[in-house]
Amino acid sequence: MEVRELAISGPLLITPKVFRDERGFVSETYSALHLEPWIGPLQFVQDNHAFSAPVGTVRGLHFQIPPYDQGKLIRVLRGRIYDVAVDIRKGSPTYGRHVGVELSAENWTQLWVPPGFAHGVCTLEPDTEMLYKLTSFYSRDHERGIAWNDPALGVEWPIGGTKPVLSQKDRELPGLATLPGYFQFA
Give me the active site residues, please.
62, 132
Q: Can you tell me the distance from the alpha carbon of 144 to that of 2, in angstroms, rounded to the nearest whole number?
A: 31
Task: List, in sequence order, every residue forming a beta bridge with 69; answer none if it has no partner.
Answer: none
Task: List, in sequence order, every residue forming a beta bridge with 144; answer none if it has no partner.
Answer: 63
Cβ-count burial 49-66 (b if 16+ within 10 Å, e if not): ebebeebbbbbbbbbbbe
- Are 150 and 170 in contact by the 8 Å Cβ rule? The answer is no
